[in-house]
Structure formats: structure tokens, C-alpha cells
Chain A
Amino acid sequence: MNGYGGQILRVNLSNGQISKEPTPPELAREFVGGRGFGIYFLLKEVPPKADPLGPQNKLIISSGPFSGLMIPGAGKCDWTTKAPLTGGYASASMGGHFTAEMKYAGLDSIILEGISPKPVYLFIDDNKIELRDAAHLWGKGSMVVEKILKDQYGEEFQVAAIGPAGENCVSFAHINHDYGRQAGRGGVGAVMGAKKVKAIVVRGTKSIPVADPEAYRKAGLELFKACKEAEMLKEWTSYGTTIVVSWCDEVGALPTRNFSAGSFEDGKNLYGPVMRQKIVITDKGCFGCPSPCGKYSRVQRYDTYVEGPEYETIGMIGSNLGLKSIEDVAHANYLCDEWGIDTISAGGVIAWAMECYEKGIFTKADTDGLELKFGNAEAVFKLIEKIAKKEGIGALLADGVKRAAQKVGKGSEKWAIHVKGMEQSAYATHNATAMLLAYMTCDVGAHHNRAWAITYDLQVGRERVAPEKVARVIWLQHFRPMFDVLGGCRLQWVELGIDRNLYLPALEAITGIHRTWEDLELVGERIWNLARLYWMREIDGFDRSWDLPAPRFYEEPPTSGATKGQITRFEDVQKLLDVYYEQRGWSPQGHPTPQTLERLGLQSFVN
């Protein structure tokens, strides 16, 4: 099938059975690839109310039609599953070279099913596919394992591995690849660990067929040309995502001490140019990327190498924990990567614990003797390990901030910064209504990448609660995740500002199917509604209360920084939801109406 690997690989870990089936052409037509495939298999194949860590849950790994082709940033891989962190939908996007290698091996999706009786890794070398013993890898760090497997099999093989946190089913364990690219959010690494799969090793040497090779080559070269001619290319490539640290600090969006403020008095130590000068040793790109945001660093003080830190980690592990040194942030990043936990959730849950300590709810008796004050880097390093091992206070924090706060109580739920159980990523949203709504309604919990609307807030007036703001968020929620469907990266559009219409002739030449952006955004809307149906199916009583943000954003105006004294009123939070549901064709409780499902042709997904 043009533009595809052509096959779906199923690995039943319980009985060791490995099978392949052709990728259904109608699936490719309707859901295109990536997270479109993911939500389809999740809804159709994982039974309702499955235990995320049980044998019924599946880990669905998908590439898209752009993956592995001559398209800028064609290295994005989707990992869909039922999330251990939230009990709802997880779709984590991972960069690097894994998705391209999958396609060269002829695979559009890899579906891991069941639970292996013993630790294994999945070995894929074109058509040779085996489960191999991983006893010697179990307990090791994710990057240590990657190095062992690359040394054993060679540079052409790509590796995705979990760390000890994944083995221990930490609810926000990630999957690490290419020494620093992750499928980070929702606990996808815990699902892999529960299945006793330490790693996936893949090499493919097949060619990916395309419908019109000459038109595809021409369209691909046009896309690269546009990227290379973009005014922002040089500056963006110098700093990657850290380019926004200073801006966020200035406008009050940089999460500081558990989101109690949006500006950090020591923020300047964490800005992109400081990092570039102090620790970065090379740029590091995902497959086919002309504008690599990856910055690979060496921290001499700790003798560690790490990809990053990128913006999210600087925000969540840096300012949000009060850490003042980029070296400390980078080292904490390395520890999270090696132990195998998501830096965003780690920053969220540790910040909550620090606030508990500073407010006297925790004493040293609760923290295994750690002085859990904001700014204490050594305590952060130790906590990361404790979380990964589920040791002492780490066992509490390993459940994520929502459950930890429910367990501890004493009002600490108020400063548990999450939506739907997922720790909010690194944009403080005290007075940025579009970004706040984006977090409230994001399909996996409080994550930024579906609708990055913070710049729009600044553009049109941050406190405004206007229908056009809601419409913008909805459009972003359909458009941006289409890159996760296509298996490409959105940042050439977001950051370099290339014309999105340049992708269309490429997609048509690759797949042989003519599509407009309106067609693709409709696919995005269908996926968005299916994710909503999944939450409704899995969580009894799922209603609009699940879309509310952390109270901090409507009850506690920051006492310092650019957003000092600013807040979104609770009635405006509710109004945002009312308008959002109405524009989506959802009920006042946030459920897609039968008419909406009919319009989108999704009735078959509802019993």
C-alpha cells in the first residue's frame, strides 16, 4: 500500500504468538495512521474497564504515511494505550528514528498484547521477529540498555526501552529511545513494564512504496527548501524549544514553585542562550529534521550526558521546583531518562510534595529525611530514584499527583496541579484563557501539545473569554495532532512558519489519495470525539467536572511576577466550557450528542 509499511504486527506476550496482518486500506483511508490507528485499535480491541496494567490492555505503536520518507521531521511515532496515570486515553508522541525503522521493516503498527511470563525484548530484523530473553537487561537504566543492544546488534538497529520505573509500573513511566527521545506521558512505560517487555529493537531494510515517486520527490524537496529558507531557522536551531524560556518568564507563563507564579526570579540562569553556552555539545535531530530542536548536553559537574533539557523539563524540573542552575536541571533530566520517568509529571508531583513540606503537611518523617524545600537539587535527584524504585515517599508519588493528594488530603488537593489526573505541563495559565481551556479539554489530560494556544492569548488579550478564542482552541486540537497522525512533526509549521499547504501535494504523491486540510481536520475531529467516547466508556460518571483545571488557576492569583494578582474567575472557567461544548456539538456535560456522532460517522463506536 503506497505510503505504508503495509502490515500490522501483533505480539501476544502471554503465549508468545507473533502474527502479521495486512494494514486494512479502509483503516488507512479513514484514520490515516499514527494516533488515528491507535485510537481505532484501542476502542475496538481493548475491552471496557480493562486494567491498564493487566493482560487485556494493549500497547499500540504506530507510524504514519510520512514516517521514514523524505519529508521534514518524518520521525514521529505514536504510542496509544489505556493510561495507568489517568485511567483514560493515552497517546504519547515520540521522536527519533524508531518510527522510520518500523516502516522500513514493513510495519505500520506494532500491537503488544497480554503479559509475558518473564522479562523479554522484542527483536525485529525485517521479517525475523522474535521475543528474546531480557533477564540480563531487567533492572538496568533505559539508556544503558540501549547501548548494550546497539553494541550487540549494530548502529542500523533502533531501540526503545524502559527503565526501572517502567518495570515497577510507576504511573508516569516513559519509554526512552535514541538516548533522550521519549514517549513520555500517561504511563506508557508502565504498560510496557507490566507486559514484561524491556525493549523493542528494530531494523528494516525494505523500501517504502509511494504512488508517484517523481511528484513526491519534487514536493519533498519543496518542503525542505521552505524550511531552509525560513527566517527563524538559524535562531530556532540554535536553541530549540529553550527559545521560549525567556519569553514565558517575561509574560508570566513559566511555572514557578508549583505553579504559584509564572515568573522565576532566577529564571535567567535557565534561558536558552545560557544553556547553549554552558552545556550543549551538539544538535540532535529526529529522522529527516532540517531544524533539529534536540540539544545534546554534557554536564561536567556530574559527568553526565543528556539530550536536553528542553523547555518542558526546564519549566517543570527547573523553575517549578525552584532549581536555579541549568546543570542541576540537566542532571535531573538525565536521571529521569535513565530511571525511566516523564520529566513533566515528575516535576509536577515533586513540586506538590515540596509545597506539602513547606506548608508543614510533610515533615522529614514523611520524606525519608529529605529537606524537601523548593530549590534543593540534591533532594530532587534522590526523589527521582525513590519514585522509580517506589521506595519510601517515592511509592506515594509514583501514583501521580492526583492520587497522592487524595491519599494525603489536608487540603493538598488544592495544589495538585493536574487535569484528569495528568500533571499539567509547563505553561502557567493564571490568566491565559485559551491555554487554560486547552489544558482543561486536552484528550489525555493537562498536556500542551494538542493546542499550544498561549501565544494566541497574548495576541488577542489573555483574559478575554470570547467565542473566537474557543474556536481557535478547537481548530488547534484538530489540526496540530494531525502531525501525530501523519507520523511527522508540527514544529516546521509552528516554529519555522512554513506554508502548511506544501504538505498536501506530498501526501497525495505518497498515498495516491487527494486530501485537503479540511479533509484532514475532519479526521482530527473524529479522533478527538473518539477519545472523548473512550473516557466516557472507561470512567463511570465522566462529566464536565473532569474538565476543570486546578483551583490554583481560579482561586490563587500569583503574588509575584508578570501575572501578579491576575486570575481567571471561576464563572469564566465555566463559561469557557459552555461555549466549548456548544461549538463541538457536545451536551452541557461534555458528551458528544447523537447528532454530532452521526455527522462524524462514528455511531459504530457506540454500543
Chain B
Amino acid sequence: MMRLYADSSKCSGCRACLVACSLNLFQENNPKKAALVIEAHFPAPGAYKVRVCTQCGACAEVCPTGAIKINERGAYYVDMAECNLCEACVPECPESVMFVRTELADTSWKCDLCGDCVSVCGTGVLWIAETEAAVA
């Protein structure tokens, strides 16, 4: 199984990945609707932390409607038509990258491994590779 990886030490906080993500996921320009997170810790210690989906599947396990499925890339994704906004998945996510924000969308959302974030990242923070479990 493939997943997205991030090396936070290379991140410059530009957020290009967020707008690319929302554009692919929702066909919208709206970083608030992205499926990864950049935390900025300034002025001290002066560092960024990137949080990404590890495709662990914990969200899918608890989804009562079966809305979180596996796509052709082998990644868990939200079938938006089947999400009932129960939010059961949100607290289960160990990386806090399972999103429900009803003011922004009528569905939950998560990373579906489209790869557009990797395409726009200029500093090599993000890449897609086999999960550790698969490598092991």
C-alpha cells in the first residue's frame, strides 16, 4: 500500500500543497479544504510541522456508512455521497488529518493520494512511497 510522506524539516510553509489539494479534491481554490496540515511555530522555535495521512485506515474501520473506501491508487478516500457527517472518523485519526467542517463542506474529507501536493512542493518535503507495513 502507498502513502504520502513528509519531511517537515524541509518545509518553508508556503502552503502551495494546500491549494493544490483543495483543487484536486473539491475542484476549488481553498486551502481550508485541504487534507494535509502545515503548522507554523513562530517566532520561536521557528519551524514548520507537516501532518499527512498515513493511510492507516482507522477512519474506515469506524465509519458506520462505509463511506471511506479504497480507490484505484490503493488509498482510502471518502465517497462524499455516502458520508453522513457523523464525525466518528475524526477522533480516530492519529494524525488529525480527517476533516469535518460543516461550514465549509457537506462531507468529511481526507487524503486520497492524488499526488498534486507532491507536484507543487518545491523543497522536496512530500513524496509517495510504500507504507512501512508493506515494506516490512
Question: A residues within 8 Å of B by Cβ?
Answer: 68-70, 72, 75, 97, 100, 104, 143, 147, 155-156, 178-179, 205-208, 210, 213, 217, 220-221, 224-225, 227-228, 233, 237, 281-292, 294, 296, 298, 305
Contact = CB atoms under 8 A, between A and B. Distances in A.
B29 A68 contact: yes
22 contacts: A68-B19, A68-B29, A69-B29, A70-B16, A70-B20, A104-B32, A155-B40, A178-B42, A206-B30, A207-B26, A220-B20, A224-B122, A281-B47, A282-B9, A285-B123, A289-B14, A289-B16, A290-B14, A290-B120, A292-B14, A305-B44, A305-B46
B7 to A, nearest CB: 12
A126 B104 CA distance: 12
Contact of B121 (A147, A178, A208, A290): A290
B82 interface: no
Nearest to A75: B14
B16 A207 contact: no
Nearest to B124: A228
B48 interface: yes
Interface in B101-130: 103-104, 116, 119-123
B23 interface: yes
B12 A285 contact: yes
Contact of A282 (B31, B33, B47): B47
Contacts of B9: 282
A217 B23 contact: yes
B65 interface: no
A97 B15 contact: yes
B46 A298 contact: yes
Contacts of A206: 30
Nearest to B42: A179
A208 B30 contact: yes
Given A70-B16, A225-B119, A282 B48 contact: yes
A205 B32 contact: yes
Nearest to A233: B122
A294 B12 contact: yes
A266 to B, nearest CB: 27
Contact of A228 (B42, B116, B122): B122
A290 B116 contact: no
Nearest to A143: B43
Given A70-B19, A104-B32, A224-B16, A292 B123 contact: yes
Contacts of B27: 213
Interface of B: 9-10, 12-16, 19-20, 22-24, 26-33, 39-40, 42-48, 103-104, 116, 119-123
Given A69-B29, A237-B122, A305 B14 contact: no
Contacts of A147: 43
A319 to B, nearest CB: 26
B15 to A, nearest CB: 6
Given A220-B23, A221-B116, A282-B9, 19 more contacts: A70-B19, A70-B23, A100-B31, A178-B42, A207-B22, A208-B29, A224-B120, A227-B122, A237-B123, A282-B46, A282-B47, A284-B13, A287-B15, A288-B14, A288-B16, A288-B19, A289-B14, A290-B122, A305-B43
A213 B23 contact: yes
B46 A296 contact: yes
B110 to A, nearest CB: 18
Nearest to A68: B29
B119 A221 contact: yes
B130 to A, nearest CB: 23
Nearest to A334: B43
Contact of A224 (B31, B48, B119): B119
Nearest to A73: B14
A293 to B, nearest CB: 10
A205 B103 contact: yes
By Cβ-Cβ distance, the 8 closest A-B pairs, closest first, are A290-B122, A285-B14, A285-B12, A207-B28, A292-B12, A283-B12, A207-B30, A208-B29
B14 A287 contact: yes
A307 to B, nearest CB: 9
Contact of A210 (B12, B29, B40, B42): B29
Contacts of A284: 12-13
Nearest to A221: B119
B14 A179 contact: no
Nearest to A203: B32
